[in-house]
Structure 1
Amino acid sequence: MAKRDYYEVLGVDRSAAPEEIKKAYRKIAIKYHPDKNPDNPQAEEMFKEAAEAYEVLSNAEKKQRYDQFGHQGVNGGGFGGGGMNMEDIFSQFGDIFGSGSPFESFFGGGGGRARGRKGSNLRIKLKLTLQEIANGVEKKIKVNRLVPADGVTFKTCNSCQGTGQVRKVVNTMLGQMVSSSTCPACNGSGKVVDHRPPGVDSSGLHQKEEVINIKIPGGVTEGMQLSMSGKGNAAPGGGAPGDLLILIDEIEDQDLKREGNNITYELYISFIDAALGSTVEVPTIDSRVKIKIEPGTQSGKILRLRNKGIKDINGYGQGDQLIHVNVWTPKKLTHDEKAQLESLRESPNFKPRPEKGEKGFFDKMKDFF
């Protein structure tokens, strides 16, 4: 089932301000909150859907990618906010309801669930060939990430009594003012390390090399950043893990160049092939194909191979391959070759005479873009 547009999910315009997006999410989350809708799978899905939309639209970087590339830009092939569970939602967005909310205990305020901080993100650069970018690819990569170590035990934090929050009471002219903040002793997790083996850090984590399977959708672009939710470093005390951020690096192809979703190729043919016509073989993304050069082909002519380009990342069709024909002029000639060409110099058929209505190179390019 196709995902709904995130702006539609939250009921806001694309020009909505961050506060408007936050307000819309809060309203929907309260309406479909599990405490208010016990044993209601449909409400739970609506709750998760709204959280996923807010997770993207509340982040300036993810919102920009979503506005430009749609769902594929933030969660193509298993990336982004997709697959969020309740723990993710409560740990990341609990404080959006603020103090005094009827669901405060559920989201980690006052004596309820400890929110804990989120683990840090990991960033890698992934080099892809033009063929991999065009067709999409599945790769296995090795990453070193922080994970909970075996043999570590935890105990309840004495500073916050397991709530993850510490409260401070200040006497003012208007009476007592109560404020709360993340517990500095446990970083909001509500737990501290009781015992840890040698080589394990004070948070109970250690580095471990893992092989992660990632699916890159066809049509990604140089510099695009994809995100795998929950594949970053683990969080101290069992909070939500960070994300794995994948920066796309395109390997330059020796023959083919990318222009948007189109592929271009510079074809060089001899004067004789241009004059008499010929059949030549050219490379494409997936194979080599033969094309026909019509007699009298002029240098600068552009030939089009439809649907031989790159698939649009949002599913809006596929680009073409454009072949730029260049007539090659030899720099060195033998005495006999020169004599043969001299005999043709004065022939009317060898006098340049552009046909009526014939377009120049730049006008031809306008017809293609």
Structure 2
Amino acid sequence: MSKDYYKILEIERTADDKEIKRAYRKLAMKWHPDHNPGDAEAELKFKECSEAYEVLSDPQKRGIYDQYGEEGLRGQGYAGPNMGDIFSHFQDLFGGGFGGFGGFESIFGGGRAGGPVQGDHLRYDLEITLEEAVKGTSRDIVIERLETCDECQGTGAEAGSKRVQCQTCHGMGRVQMRQGMFAVQTTCPQCHGAGTKIEKPCTKCKGEGRVEKKRTVAVKIPAGVDDGSRLRLRGEGESGTQGAPSGDLYVCLAVKPHPSIKRDGLDLYTERHIHVAQAILGCEIEVETLDGKQKVSVEAGTQPGSQVRIKGAGVPKLGSNAKGDFIVVLLVDIPTKISDAERECIESFAKSQEVEFAPQKSIFQKIKEKFES
């Protein structure tokens, strides 16, 4: 059975990055092996929530999962939690004050030395109109992200300060923790595997080398995007540590439904009601398109559900000069009440076409049928 990562983290499918982090932090604390020694079920729960966070915190993986599920991820070569990435997320969320992480590494094996780490990717959900999706537009969005500290230029140290050997691991970057009868090596909780510590941390970023800032980012939306399209803005994610490159920003688009126009691939559809007389005799009608009102011709003898196609007035294909069509679906309205004169004309027409029809009942016949019933 396919795993529901949202259910595992106990969040809604619309959860943002902060809600995902908050949920993972809570569950990781609850199910961490250090808190549940010898509990196989807790170990399984910890693995599950780590895997869910690994997928949902990555915009690319989350996008694939949202569209195709777990099978889609496997089709892209994803085979479950990657220890290095999960350990990095865990360290970022909990720092060095969580019991040495002995249980964590005993589950996944191995460890990760400290060093430059690329910044996290970010996801931003943006709603646009159908017109914006078809024609393209530019939007400014405001995001919160970690940026390189301008006080220490990302070093995390005060001016003139230097890095000194970590006294906890003596420069090794790893410490040995004892769990019952076993000794487990794990990344040093004080220096996070670097083997050194900052002598005097920067007062602005508290030694982190990065600070959280709000930024306005211009997003250019090309013509032809669809609901669920993702735009990648390289380098607009969080800044990396120790000079590593920044992550990317993924803008996930949701197209707001239009009240009268629907999209199917590259074609746009709208419905237009016409009178039965117009369908029989033909006419010219006005329809509302994304470019304003436009006149189209209805041929005589048009049947209900017939379509009138405006060539090249649909959606442009991304990366191509091709465009779809704008299609008007004609709905023929038949009046439910007509006058005696109108009925006489229609009956005369029906007789000329040798079409059978029900004769009109007189008022006396209707009264008689009512009493008899």
2:270 paired residue number: 265
Tell me if 1:226 matches 2:203: no
**Residues 116 and 188 of structure 1 are in contact (CA less than 8 Å); yes or no, is this contact kept in structure 2?**
no
Q: Percent identity, aligned pairs only? A: 26
1:126 paired residue number: 126
Post-superposition offset of 1:305: 1.0
**Residues 59 and 122 of structure 2 are in contact (CA less than 8 Å); yes or no, is this contact kept in structure 1?**
no
1:196 paired residue number: 202
- Go from structure 1 to structure 2 and tell me whether the alpha carbon gap of 1:291 and 1:196 turns closer, same or farther (over 3 Å shift): same
Give per-residue Cα distances to partners, 1:289-324, cap 9 Å, x unaligned. Answer: 101111111122222111111111131511111222
The unaligned stretches of length 5 or more in structure 1 are: 1-58, 66-113, 169-180, 353-369
Aligned counterpart for 1:314 among listed residues 306, 311, 319: 319
- Go from structure 1 to structure 2 and tell me whether the alpha carbon gap of 1:193 and 1:272 turns closer, same or farther (over 3 Å shift): farther
2:71 paired residue number: none
Q: Structure 2 CA distance, aligned partners of 1:302 and 1:285?
A: 18
Q: Structure 1 CA distance, aligned partners of 2:267 and 2:220?
A: 23
Post-superposition offset of 1:347: 2.8
How many residue pairs end up in the alignment? 234
- Go from structure 1 to structure 2 and tell me whether the alpha carbon gap of 1:219 and 1:191 turns closer, same or farther (over 3 Å shift): farther
**Residues 125 and 249 of structure 1 are in contact (CA less than 8 Å); yes or no, is this contact kept in structure 2?**
yes
2:291 paired residue number: 286
**Residues 314 and 324 of structure 2 are in contact (CA less than 8 Å); yes or no, is this contact kept in structure 1?**
yes
**Residues 273 and 332 of structure 2 are in contact (CA less than 8 Å); yes or no, is this contact kept in structure 1?**
yes
Q: Structure 2 CA distance, aligned partners of 1:195 and 1:326?
A: 73
Q: Which has the larger radius of gyration?
A: 2
- Go from structure 1 to structure 2 and tell me whether the alpha carbon gap of 1:233 and 1:267 turns closer, same or farther (over 3 Å shift): same
1:138 paired residue number: 138
Q: Structure 2 CA distance, aligned partners of 1:182 and 1:316?
A: 57
SS in 1 for 2:346: helix
- Go from structure 1 to structure 2 and tell me whether the alpha carbon gap of 1:146 and 1:242 turns closer, same or farther (over 3 Å shift): same
Q: Structure 2 CA distance, aligned partners of 1:234 and 1:144?
A: 12
- Go from structure 1 to structure 2 and tell me whether the alpha carbon gap of 1:308 and 1:134 turns closer, same or farther (over 3 Å shift): same
Q: Structure 2 CA distance, aligned partners of 1:189 and 1:351?
A: 97
Amino acid at match of 2:202: R
- Go from structure 1 to structure 2 and tell me whether the alpha carbon gap of 1:269 and 1:150 turns closer, same or farther (over 3 Å shift): same
SS in 2 for 1:134: helix
Which range is displaced more, 184-193 or 145-154? 184-193
Post-superposition offset of 1:189: 11
Q: Structure 2 CA distance, aligned partners of 1:326 and 1:307?
A: 23
Aligned counterpart for 1:185 among listed residues 179, 188, 191: 191
Give per-residue Cα distances to partners, 1:62-86, cap 9 Å, x unaligned. Answer: 9x99xxxxxxxxxxxxxxxxxxxxx
SS in 1 for 2:304: coil
2:219 paired residue number: 214
Q: Structure 1 CA distance, aligned partners of 2:196 and 2:250?
A: 28
- Go from structure 1 to structure 2 and tell me whether the alpha carbon gap of 1:60 and 1:242 turns closer, same or farther (over 3 Å shift): closer
Amino acid at match of 1:119: G
State TM-score, norm by structure 1. 0.54
Alignment of 1:1-369 (within 5 A): 61=60, 116-152=116-152, 153-154=156-157, 156-159=162-165, 185=191, 192=198, 194-197=200-203, 200=205, 202-315=207-320, 317-348=322-353
**Residues 122 and 242 of structure 1 are in contact (CA less than 8 Å); yes or no, is this contact kept in structure 2?**
yes
SS in 1 for 2:239: coil
Amino acid at match of 2:130: L
State TM-score, norm by structure 2. 0.53
- Go from structure 1 to structure 2 and tell me whether the alpha carbon gap of 1:278 and 1:235 turns closer, same or farther (over 3 Å shift): same
Amino acid at match of 1:324: V
Q: Structure 1 CA distance, aligned partners of 2:219 and 2:314?
A: 23
RMSD: 3.8
Amino acid at match of 1:145: R
